[in-house]
Structure 1
Amino acid sequence: MESNKEIVLKVLKGAFIERDVSVVERYFSPDYVQHNPVIRNGSGAIATLIPTLKKDLSYEIGMVVAEGDLVMVHGRYVGWGPKPLVAVDIFKVRGGRVVEHWDVMQEEVPAAATASGNPMFSPA
């Protein structure tokens, strides 16, 4: 049996790296609840989104934290908007299916322009 962390990583890799629509049928609940303001509820919204992703969109996975039915992934999207975006995606997983998703995204600031000199994102 796959852990919730493994399921979420397969979802993110399948959707944003491999552009594999079959991850929706395998890993999303039909009653999937979406909290991103530009994506509808339901697994069909994700199945419709994946083929429309720009060819130059890339996604990198950073830290992953899992506890109970929640999995959080710190990631970096390049090509989603005019500047790279650093995000925390939060997934609720039940019975081997993603049932809910939230995200927090912000434009990436280069390390040289941060007060600390530290980058906002470091790959895992």
Structure 2
Amino acid sequence: MTSLFQRHDASAVERLYAADYIQHNPSIPQGRGALQALVAGLSQDVYYEPGLIVAEGDFVAIHGRIRGWSNGPQVMIDLFRVEDGKLAEHWDVLQDEVPVTAALGGVPMFDPEEGTLQAQLATS
């Protein structure tokens, strides 16, 4: 995600994604070539921040935030199926980020340090 949506490195698609990559987001065309073209055409305003990362078996989920993809920042969950060390399949859910309000508890939807905090809790 950082290679594609921070560094805008379209060449990373060939290295990281399976040749028969399956995309479950209906707004993004199927296949590795389509993903590579999408990344190559991204605005420099698009920037992805990963947070918490969870892995189980052949699946990896990333909670993150993306800016520049929509009118405002969005918080997202990306779920990948990994096969032979490559990303073979992808699902995502995006939600517009809502600012923190003290009346509702003051906890943000996304904190870029959440992955670090989770790792610290697991080792303590």
Pairwise same-fold verdict (TM > 0.5): yes
User: Could you tell me how far 1:115 is from its partner in structure 2?
Assistant: 2.0
Establish whether residue 27 from structure 1 lines up as the match of residue 16 from structure 2. yes
TM-score w.r.t. the length of structure 2 is 0.86
Per-residue deviation, 1:38: 0.7
Give 1 or 2 for the bigger CA radius of gyration: 2
Q: Kindly indicate whether residue 94 of structure 2 is the aligned counterpart of residue 105 of structure 1.
A: yes
Partner of 2:109: helix, strand, or coil?
coil
Aligned partners of 1:90 and 1:111: how far apart in 2? 26
- 1:35 and 1:27 mapped to 2: Cα distance? 17
* TM-score (normalised: structure 1): 0.86
Q: Which amino acid aligns with 1:23?
A: A
Q: Quick one: percent identity of the two aligned structures?
A: 48
What amino acid sits opposite 1:68 in the alignment?
G
- What RMSD in Å do the two structures reach over aligned CA positions? 1.3
List 4+ stretches of structure 1 deviating above 6 A: none
The count of residues paired between Structure 1 and Structure 2 equals 113
Gaps of 5+ in 2: 114-124
